[in-house]
Amino acid sequence: MLGGVASTQFGASFAKGLFDDVGPGGAVFLRMLFAALVLAGLWRPSIRRHTRGDLLLVLGFGVALAAMNLTFYEAIDRIPLGVAVTLEFTGPLTVAVLGSRRALDLVWVTLAAAGILLLADLGGSGIDALGAALALLAGVFWGSYILLSERVGQVFPGGAGLALAMLVGAALLLPVGVLEAGGALLDARVLAVGTLVAMMSSAIPYSLELEALRRLPSGVFGVLMSTEPAMAALAGLVVLGEGLAAREAVAIGLVVVASAGAARRAAREAVPRD
């Protein structure tokens, strides 16, 4: 789970380097396309022996993936990565709250929420309103992704369902990518960076998260995702040279405590569903 979080955020920091060449739409199309090709080659998914309901589930999963990534990339084109991830996390946090069964679960959610508010510091940041709205919309699709991913992992073996959903998402984003990037999509450097971003931001983390969802309840999974804002801040520091204020350090401490508490519960109570 933590490996998936780190891969996603460092991949997002590298993706911003593509925006000047192909725009957010072109970057997200390349990410989805290469990730789909890698996962399809790895898992060789088949739709045979699956019901119409299974295929509709994969279709919905693909739509959620495409929408989540597109709205997030459009958001980080307008606002800082850490703020975007913080706002986007409202989706997983909502899943965590709705999945809570005991009072202790709400303690971890409350700590995570406090960290998110500190990290965002929306009152003094003067962030772009459209960027913030896009990040919140990405959070809605992120929450949908968590719930759909859990169901897909139960219906399709290994990463077959994820590979099919990636293919659906890449097909949906093809017009957006071509319209925004045009011939730049064929540039060798752009293709190389796009492949790296695809592996770090999609193929690796989604595969790891799919396996995590087979072993963790969706509510615990949602709380563990609270490390996303902290990891985004770390990626900004390492890759983009963005320093951390004391407020941000406190926020990271809060989400780490929340994640550690949730992970301890998961280790005691989660039952593998291989």
φ, ψ for residue 74, nearest 5 deg: -65, -35
Tokens of 227: 């490390």
Residue 119 has pLDDT above 90, yes or no: no
C-alpha closest to that of 79 among 124, 123, 127, 17: 127
Q: Would you list the DSSP string of 59-98?
A: HHHHHHHHHHHHHHHHHHTTS-HHHHHHHHTHHHHHHHHH
Q: According to the model, what pLDDT value does residue 219 have?
A: 61
Question: Where do the structural domains in the chain lie, given as residue ranges?
Answer: 2-269
Per-residue confidence (pLDDT) for residue 25, from 0 to 100: 94
Per-residue pLDDT tens digits for 62-101: 999 999 999 999 999 988 888 888 888 878 777 766 766 6
- Distances in Å between the Cα of 49 and the Cα atoms of 39, 55, 155, 164, 187 are 20, 10, 11, 15, 40
pLDDT at 140 over 80: yes
pLDDT band at 212 (very low <50, low <70, confident <90, very high): confident
Per the confidence metrics, is the pTM higher than 0.85?
Answer: no
Q: Is the pLDDT of residue 108 over 90?
A: no
